[in-house]
Amino acid sequence: MPLDRHASRILKMLAAAGGGTPASPAAVRASMLELARALDPRDLPVLRVEELQLPGRVGELAMRRYAPQDRVAPGPALLYLHGGIGVFGSAQTHDAVCRLLCADSGITLLSLDYRLAPEHPFPAAADDALAAWRWTQAQAGALGIDPARCAIGGDSAGATLAIDACRQARAAGLPLPAAQLLLCPVTDLCAVTPSRREFGDGFFPSAALLAWALDLYCPPGIDRCDARLSPLRAGDLAGLPRARIHVAEFDPFRDEGEAYAAALEAAGVDVRCTRHDGLIHHYYGMAGAIPAARVALKEAAEDLRVVLAGA
């Protein structure tokens, strides 16, 4: 299928804004917030939103709780981890994504602001994700959620964190999430795939942006092929929660997302992988400018609702 014409227009806009090596993490963080403001829908649903604090490994972490206005507790929930290659992104850049997922699924959504590199390189974000999962389970009653119907998910590098949290929870004997929702997951930082070669330039994220961010997130001494960073290389996928994976046709990470789905299936995990033709990486954060992206995000939310209803 050809590249969606709305997505093509956004890629041209990003190219006109300049490429190459970013000036600084602060500059990229600011530009991502501006991108969200430009591409988010204007008619976002009205929800109950609450700012929370939870204990992390080295201090408090911020979390944003979204719930439908007519929500009856306790009910299903999703712990959501935003993308950004471990360097940028926040609960604020992903506010619209979380609002839409919450409204379309009818479940409570908890969006974590984990620590970012270079101030806090790997494994800080992974530690925060597991801490948030522990806290969510421990505080389920106060949060108005059913701990047995709580999923975990995220997009891009946030999806990687969600995968790792599942593996860490399994290793620690903690309750496992009822499901994983993985949007354009990054599953192999050492991969050289056809989709990475084909969409490394002229698409999002660019190869230059990815390389720059990974150098900050994974400083010297960090093995990027480690299963915590590259879960496709893990040999122990059996027993992980059911997964709903969504990839985009014109995404550098498409092939590894589909390969991870195949690896889960081979390990006996209930998995469904959907490729969204014509779309690009981060489409879920462009729902106000790409009609097909809004449809894809709604499908993901409704699928999650069905999965958690039967958990």
Model pLDDT, residue 221: 95
Question: Read out DSSP for the chain?
Answer: -PPPHHHHHHHHHHHHT--SS-S-HHHHHHHHHHHHHHHS-SSPPP-EEEEEEEE-SSSEEEEEEEE-TT--SSEEEEEEE--STTTS--TTTTHHHHHHHHHHHTSEEEEEE---TTTS-TTHHHHHHHHHHHHHHHTHHHHTEEEEEEEEEEETHHHHHHHHHHHHHHHHTPPPPS-EEEES----TT---HHHHHSSSSSSS-HHHHHHHHHHHS-TT--TTSTTT-GGG-S--TTPPPEEEEEEEE-TTHHHHHHHHHHHHHTT--EEEEEEEEEETTGGGGTTT-HHHHHHHHHHHHHHHHHHHT-
Residue in 231, 228, 291, 302 with CA at minimum distance from that of residue 261:
231
Catalytic residue ranges: 156, 251, 281
Model pLDDT, residue 128: 98
SS3 letters for 161-189?
HHHHHHHHHHHHCCCCCCCEEEECCCCCC
pTM: 0.97
Model pLDDT, residue 20: 64
What's the mean per-residue pLDDT of the chain?
Answer: 95
Q: For residue 301, what pLDDT band results from cuts at 50, 70 and 90? A: very high
Whole-angstrom Cα distance, residue 98 to residue 47? 11
- Mean pLDDT across 292-308: 97
| Domains of the chain, CATH where assigned | 5-309 (3.40.50.1820)
Model pLDDT, residue 19: 64
Residue 209 has pLDDT above 70, yes or no: yes
Burial 205-225 (b: 16+ CB within 10 A, else e): bbbebbebbbebbbeeebeee
| In the block, residue with structure tokens 């039967």 | 310
Percent of the chain with pLDDT over 90: 91
Whole-angstrom Cα distance, residue 181 to residue 246? 8
In tens, the pLDDT along 234-271 reads 989 999 999 999 999 999 999 999 999 999 999 999 99
Whole-angstrom Cα distance, residue 88 to residue 64? 17
β-pairing verdict for 60-67 and 108-113 = antiparallel
Would you mind telling me the total number of residues written for the chain in this entry?
A: 311
Model pLDDT, residue 160: 98
